[in-house]
Structure 1
Amino acid sequence: MSETPQAPWQSVDPTGLFALLTNDLVGITRGRFFPLPLRERAVLKGCGWVPANLGLTPFDEIAADNPWGCVGDLRLRPDPDTAYRTTRLGEGAFAGMLCDITTLDHQPWYGCGRSFLRAALKDLETEFGLSLFCAFESEFQVTGATWAHAPAFSLQAMRRADDFMRLLVDALADVGVDPEIILPEYGQDQYEVPCAPRDALQAADKAVLFREVTREAARLSGLRATFTPKMTPQGVGNGMHIHFSLKDRNGRFVTFDPQHPAGVSERCGAFVAGIMRHMPALMAFCAPTAISYMRLQAHHWSSAYASFGLHNREAALRICPVAATDPATTARLFNIEFRPPDGTASPYWALGALVRAGIEGLRHGLPTPDLCPGDPDSMDEATRRQMGIRRLPGSLREALDAFMADSIVRGWLDSALVEGIRSAKQCEIDKIQDWTDDESCRRYATIF
């Protein structure tokens, strides 16, 4: 048997725990944990996992009618390329690997989000010679602070969180997340961190690590970081925006074409059109919890409608501005932002669903959608219909209905997984049906 690849923890004393992690349908990172001295065994053998774990709601309840029940066994198979480690987050090492979920004969399991994303990316490359270059930017809020209120976007707001932010930035650098900018946001004690763009699977891996490192850095600073979509019913929302661009087999960016309206290339336009066509059903992955729909409201810059816009923050798909004048630099920087996802979404499932929808647009040669010139909610219904603009689901119930009604989206998944999603969403809907909005915000904030 070959030796374990050189990993970030091998040159230091083995103290603490070593984690094998996966990220589920509601964006919660779960896993198994080993003493660091046993890490090599864990890397070589992986560990057991249970199918019904995928049926957990955010409240750790499993629907009685879930398709897996008490039967079945799986394996967490760590990917050495995802190894991470930092000693800044407490006395013991914060170390581990991200995993694929496989069957006992080492085949990808249909319920593994990481495998779902990888397969979608492979089809994109095989059928169209394209790959996806991505960046995630996440918003979160801090609770437990004793500092005074500071104006939005201000130096005061940044400096008061200096100790926490320095710890966060250093720990993120240790695990290779590479934040590009840290900014105090509009909301109370809200921050946003866009991370460096990468190939799509790596970008999703780093987005998972970003959340966990942020939570740990906050905890060790006497604070709590929450990625919940809404802290209060009247407050601002927290999103997880996905930026993407397309590259061909030669590594050339092909998202931009100056000969087309707004610079959107024909291939990019078809990719975007596929997302537009299936976007209501995609919310089962991108806005997967009941609290998500408090955020997806009109006039809140959170994309209440399936729409495509130029520099338009009410659009679900936004062409981002590029600070360049020469064509080569513009082509490299030109990207589309997908705004509906939030911090209850799995980066793997959300991005994988986006890729699958984009592939559908490419397969059918769909034309680039019309550009929405402003707030879709201010338009009359006839204009929206003419432009192909639709209201996104307004509740988890509506999102589940849209998912179940879209045979193309359901067709990307094993039938057992479709049933697992249906049963888990219904279980969550039943759980929260009598809660007030304030209670919902409070309960979800304690989880995410």
Structure 2
Amino acid sequence: MLREDLTFVGTCDIAGLVRGKGFPSTELPARRKIGIGWTHSNLMQTCFGPILDTPFGTAGDLMIVPDPSAEVHVDFRDGSAPEHFFLGDVRNTDGSPWACCVRTFLRRAAEALKDASGLELLAAFEQEFVYTGVEDVPGHAYSLNAFRRQGVFGEMLMAAIRAASVHPDSFLAEYGPRQFEMTVGPDVALRAADAAVIAREMARGAAFRLENRAIFSPMPVADGAGNGVHIHFSLHDASGAPVTRDPNGPMGLSVVAMHFAAGVLHHLPALCAVTAPSPVSYFRLTPNRWAPTVADLKLQDRSASLRICPVFDAEGQEQQNAQFNLEFRVCDAAASPYMALGALIFAGADGIARELTLPDTEAALPTSLTAALDVMEESAALKSWFGPVFFEAYLRHKRSEAAYVADLSPEDLCARYAEIY
């Protein structure tokens, strides 16, 4: 079979999907500098494909420039074409960052945290999905039998993640029918988001080669279990030392971590539009689904928006401090990991800068994407984090998506999103 090696360069966009272009791999040295051509309105592609609304029109040219630190080359050794792609930055033709580049958004958030506190954030993503290659057997959540029945998929997935230079942490059968969860190790903000995107694509790639699917939709069926994306994070000083924990602080939080958490809770109703950015996201964020419904911080409670995770028995304070982390649970795979983590960091940095304290009351989270977008639109803070161009584009993108599916029943709506994610 006559073949030529191809390389893909892409970005995980507003819709949480990796889009870009491929080219002959022999051109990679030149493409490292000039990238591949892109245009402004490509940002406005909904998850369903059509551009329903755009502030950019048909004009303008951009580049997606590959980041050498975000290269993936994984050969599944089954005769299929290797997964060879780069995640990249969207830049203007003069090489400057484009105002709507999602990776630049996360970089700016990390800088805001550093300016406010001198700290950096380490994060790790837990991602839930449905694997279609197993039969639904009731009563087998977390079971060895469910783990066994997925066959070689888990091994292929973990091997692919490792081959992509991401550290695989765990793989397990989850609570829902045919549901599994994968976790990767922690890293600094941009690399953590890269790892989340790469792990998601490796799950899809492994499932594809087994003629199945990995479905990351927030609610694959209306009356079923939801797929969440949980972001674990901790704060570290310039030397790399963890500074999130103080055994004498509220719920074990240091002062700076308490301010960070307070900022997240303060902005959380508006953040939902970024971290839970699809209509079906709000079917998951309902009572009795082990998912958040209010902006709250709790100790070791899996219904909380912000969960303080347990510290297991360890030798000495240093190891206990290193284990200590918070888990942000109002997120799903309809969100670009760059945008979700960036919004979380911006909110926390604002809490530190303003020395916010933990709230006395728990604000209700929005119950629909439209409601979340309304809250976001009224937020001067989010507008400043996005910048006016990106802010308008994001709101128009998500409002057009919500209107596009507004007349669908819950069952049909979930089916449409399961086809995409």
- Sort the TM-score into its range (normalised by shorter chain): over 0.9
Corresponding residue number in structure 2 for 1:334:
324
Distance 2:178 2:200 in 1: 16
Matched, 1:82 2:55: no
Structure 1 unaligned regions, length at least 5:
1-13, 370-386
Identity of aligned residues (%): 39
Distance 1:81 1:181 in 2: 23
Corresponding residue number in structure 2 for 1:307:
296
Matched, 1:40 2:29: yes
Q: Which amino acid aligns with 1:253?
A: P
Find the partner of 1:351 among 341, 347, 366.
Answer: 341
Find the partner of 1:59 among 48, 72, 76.
Answer: 48
SS at match of 2:305: strand
SS at match of 1:181: strand
Matched, 1:425 2:398: yes
Distance 1:76 1:243 in 2: 29
What number of residue pairs does the alignment pair up?
417
Shift of 1:150: 6.1
Q: Which amino acid aligns with 1:75?
A: M
Find the partner of 1:412 among 369, 373, 385.
Answer: 385
Distance 2:290 2:138 in 1: 23
- Per-residue CA shift, 1:149-199, capped at 9, x if unaligned? 561111110111121111111111100222211110010100011111111
Q: Which amino acid aligns with 1:154?
A: S
Corresponding residue number in structure 2 for 1:69:
57
Q: Which amino acid aligns with 2:321?
A: A
Corresponding residue number in structure 1 for 2:309:
320
Check the 8 A contact 1:308/1:315 in 2, yes or no: yes
Distance 1:123 1:421 in 2: 21
Q: Scaled by the length of structure 2, what TM-score is found?
A: 0.96
Compute the RMSD of aligned alpha carbons: 1.5
Corresponding residue number in structure 2 for 1:290:
279
Find the partner of 1:363 among 353, 358, 372.
Answer: 353
Find the partner of 2:252 among 257, 263, 268.
Answer: 263
Matched, 1:139 2:128: yes
SS at match of 2:152: helix
Distance 2:105 2:254 in 1: 27
Check the 8 A contact 1:266/1:368 in 2, yes or no: no
SS at match of 1:132: strand
Q: Greater shift after overlay, 233-242 or 414-423?
A: 414-423
Q: Which amino acid aligns with 1:38?
A: E
Distance 2:372 2:45 in 1: 18
Q: Which amino acid aligns with 2:324?
A: F
Distance 2:339 2:113 in 1: 16
- Per-residue CA shift, 1:358-408, capped at 9, x if unaligned? 111011111244xxxxxxxxxxxxxxxxx3211111001101101001111
Find the partner of 1:26 among 15, 37, 49.
Answer: 15
Distance 2:4 2:317 in 1: 51
Find the partner of 2:372 among 399, 421, 426.
Answer: 399
Distance 1:147 1:422 in 2: 38
Q: Scaled by the length of structure 1, what TM-score is found?
A: 0.90
Shift of 1:131: 0.2
- Per-residue CA shift, 1:253-277, capped at 9, x if unaligned? 0000112122100000000100101
Check the 8 A contact 1:16/1:94 in 2, yes or no: no
Check the 8 A contact 1:117/1:352 in 2, yes or no: yes
Check the 8 A contact 1:296/1:304 in 2, yes or no: yes
Q: Greater shift after overlay, 276-285 or 418-427?
A: 418-427
SS at match of 1:267: helix
Shift of 1:123: 2.3
Check the 8 A contact 1:15/1:93 in 2, yes or no: no
Check the 8 A contact 2:133/2:150 in 1, yes or no: no
Find the partner of 2:89 among 83, 92, 100.
Answer: 100
- Per-residue CA shift, 1:101-132, capped at 9, x if unaligned? 11111111111110110111122123311000
Check the 8 A contact 1:271/1:359 in 2, yes or no: yes
Check the 8 A contact 2:109/2:345 in 1, yes or no: yes
Find the partner of 2:217 among 228, 231, 250.
Answer: 228
Check the 8 A contact 2:116/2:352 in 1, yes or no: no
Q: Which amino acid aligns with 1:446?
A: E
Structure 2 vs 1, CA of residues 40 and 93 (structure 1 numbering), >3 Å: closer, same or farther? farther
Distance 1:301 1:179 in 2: 25
Check the 8 A contact 1:147/1:160 in 2, yes or no: no
Shift of 1:413: 1.8
Shift of 1:147: 7.2
Distance 1:344 1:31 in 2: 18
Check the 8 A contact 2:274/2:340 in 1, yes or no: yes
Q: Which amino acid aligns with 2:121?
A: L
